[in-house]
Amino acid sequence: MDDALQDLLRYAAKRDVKLEGIAPRRLPGRGYGMVATCDIREGQTVLTVPTRALRTLATVPKAISRKLVHDVSVHGILAAHLVLEDADDDAAWDAVLPTRDDLEAGMPLLWSPKLRELLPTPARTALQRQQSKLTADWEHVKAAFAETTDARGATDDEAARGPRRPWGLTKSNYVRAWLLVNSRTFYYTTPRSEAALPSHDDRIAMQPVADLFNHTAEGGCKVSYTAQGFSFVADRAYKQGDEVLISYGAHANDALLVEYGFVLDNNRWDEVSLDAVLLPKLSSSPGGLMRDDLEAAGFWGSYMIDAATPSGCYRTQVALRRLLCGTTVTAKRAAWQRFVEGGGDDDDDEASSDALRKLLLECLDGMAELANSSLAKLERLGKANVGTGMQRSLLALRWRQIEAMVAQAAQSLRESQGADSALGATAGGGSKTS
* Spatial contact of 181 and 206, defined as CB atoms under 8 Å apart: yes
CA 366 – CA 77 distance, rounded (Å): 43
CA dist., res. 121 & res. 213, Å (int): 28
CB atoms within 10 A of CB 405: 21
Residue 287's Cα: distance from chain center in Å?
36
How does 18-48 read in b/e, with b if 16+ C-beta sit within 10 Å?
Answer: ebebbbbbbeeeebbbbbbbeebeeebbbbb
Tell me whether residue 380 is exposed, middle or buried, using C-beta atoms within 10 angstroms of its C-beta: 0 to 12, 13 to 18, 19 or more. exposed
Which residue in 231, 247, 182, 175 sits closest to 53, CA to CA?
A: 231
As a whole number, the mean pLDDT across the chain is 88
pLDDT of residue 287: 81
Give the residues across from 187 on adjacent strands: 204
Distances (CA, A) of 187 to 60, 136, 321: 17, 22, 39
Helix (H) or strand (E) holding 398: helix 389-433
What secondary structure letter does DSSP report for 206? E
Q: What pTM was computed for the model?
A: 0.89
Please give the pLDDT value at position 421.
Answer: 52
Residue environment code for 279-317, b if the CB has 16+ CB neighbours within 10 A, otherwise e: bebbeebeeebbbebbeeeebbbbbbbbeeebebbebbb
How would DSSP label each residue in 261-306? S---SS-TT--EE-HHHHHHHHHTSGGGHHHHHHHHHT-SS--EE-
- Report in angstroms the alpha-carbon separations of 203 from 73, 142, 393: 10, 23, 34
Q: Which amino acid, residue 187?
A: Y
| DSSP assignments along 349-362, one per residue | SHHHHHHHHHHHHH
Q: How many residues does the chain have?
A: 434
What pLDDT was estimated at residue 70?
82
Residue 294 in contact with residue 282, Cβ under 8 Å?
yes
Report the alpha-carbon distance of residue 8 to residue 24 in Å, rounded. Answer: 9
Centre a 10 Å sphere on the Cβ of residue 64 and count the other Cβ atoms it contains: 19
Residue 365's pLDDT is what? 97
Interstrand relation of 18-19 and 45-50 (parallel, antiparallel or unpaired)? antiparallel
Residues of the chain with pLDDT under 70: 87-88, 148-166, 191-198, 343-351, 418-434
pLDDT for residue 163 = 46
- Position 237 scores a pLDDT of 97
Rounded Cα distance, 411 and 360, in Å: 12
Distance CA 426, CA 22 (A): 60
The answer for residues whose C-beta is within 8 angstroms of residue 429's C-beta and 6 or more apart is: none
18: closest CA among 56, 44, 55?
44
Question: Which residues is 31 bridged to in the sheet?
Answer: 27
Helix, coil or strand: residue 226: strand
Q: What is the pLDDT of residue 258?
A: 98
Distance CA 254, CA 261 (A): 10
